[in-house]
Copies of this chain bind each other. A is one copy, B any other.
Amino acid sequence: MPRAITAFSNPLVKSVRLLRDKRHRRDQRRFLAEGLRILTEAREAGRLPQAMFFAADSASHPLVAALIEATEAAGGDAIETTPDILSKLSGKDNPGSVIGVYAEFETALDAVDRTAAPLWLAAERLRDPGNLGTILRTADAVGAGGLFLIDDCVDPFSVEAVRASMGALFTVPIIRARWDDFLAWLRTGSGDLVALSLDASVDYRAPAYRAPTFLLTGNEAQGLPPDYAAACDVRVRIPMLGKADSLNAAIATAVMAYTVLDRQQPL
């Protein structure tokens, strides 16, 4: 049965509140996800929270009830609480009706089966959590095998990244790796590494994009380091007709990803 917590001073509330901070996420190896849609997406992907908080008046919603039941069946804690505490946990004035606390997870490089999907995404030193979440959401949409986070990327378990992913954090395997390790692993099997680069001379529509294709997007402000780009099999650019000469990193990744999908699965 769910229990109720109504005091801000409750130790669980305090420790969960800390998960908004990266250092505490690292120490606890847990993270927060908010909102019925995202928690339901997680449940459908087989990820259940260690603890979930819900507003009393939401418990009768069928999806909330399903979450409570599944969480408790898996040995987790379902906690009825107040709108004020939900606000405090989420950091938003209008929190969703549910908040979940999940154990962190990730996929090891050695465990990746590159034949599992024709398209994989990779991002290098991505800084913006919204971009990371949006790229995860795009990765889900194009059926990518996973997202490689190369070198020092923003934390995929940050509240902003989880929110922007709209649940794709739970459905898209994430593999964190240093560049040298990633490249060494990549070269143990088949697959073309394709770099997005402003300096490239090849139009992004030209290559054949055989499976598996690994699409690599660089840092938002600086792009890829030249030696990283040089190590790729193909370097392509997206034409820009405007006055500025840049696209948002998540936008460029999506335009590329859907183009690869079109070449691999034409209409």
CA of A139 to CA of B258, assembled, Å: 18
For window 234-267 of chain A, which residues contact chain B by CB distance below 8 Å?
A: 238-244, 246-248, 250-251, 254-255, 258-259, 261-262, 267
- Which listed residue (B244, B247, B248) contacts A41, Cβ 8 A? B244
Q: Is the CB of A248 within 8 A of B134?
A: yes
Q: Is the CB of A258 within 8 A of B238?
A: yes
CA of A206 to CA of B247, assembled, Å: 25
Q: Is the CB of B140 within 8 A of A243?
A: yes
- Which listed residue (B130, B167, B247) contacts A130, Cβ 8 A? B130
CA of A168 to CA of B202, assembled, Å: 25
CA of A168 to CA of B206, assembled, Å: 28
Tell whether A29 is near chain B: CB-to-CB under 8 Å: no
CA of A137 to CA of B166, assembled, Å: 23
Tell whether A141 is near chain B: CB-to-CB under 8 Å: yes
CA of A140 to CA of B166, assembled, Å: 27
Chain B residue nearest to A167 (CB atoms) is: B244
Residues of B within 8 A of A140 (CB): 240, 242-244
Chain A interface residue count, CB cutoff 8 Å, equals: 40
Residues of B within 8 A of A210 (CB): none
Q: Is the CB of B138 within 8 A of A248?
A: yes
CA of A171 to CA of B258, assembled, Å: 27
How far apart are A167's CB and chain B's nearest CB, in angstroms?
A: 6
Chain B residue nearest to A143 (CB atoms) is: B241
Q: Is the CB of B244 within 8 A of A205?
A: no
CA of A53 to CA of B137, assembled, Å: 39
CA of A127 to CA of B94, assembled, Å: 15
For window 175-219 of chain A, which residues contact chain B by CB distance below 8 Å?
A: 203, 205-206
Given contacts A130-B130, A255-B258, contact A142 B248 (CB under 8 A): no
Tell whether A233 is near chain B: CB-to-CB under 8 Å: no
CA of A172 to CA of B241, assembled, Å: 12
Chain B residue nearest to A206 (CB atoms) is: B267
Given contacts A205-B267, A267-B203, contact A137 B254 (CB under 8 A): no
Chain B residue nearest to A267 (CB atoms) is: B205
Chain B residue nearest to A247 (CB atoms) is: B141
| Residues in A lying within 8 Å of B, measured CB to CB | 41, 44-45, 130, 134, 137-143, 164, 166-168, 171-172, 203, 205-206, 238-244, 246-248, 250-251, 254-255, 258-259, 261-262, 267
Q: Could you list some 9 contacts between A and B, CB below 8 A? A: A41-B243, A137-B251, A140-B240, A141-B242, A141-B244, A141-B247, A164-B248, A238-B258, A254-B254
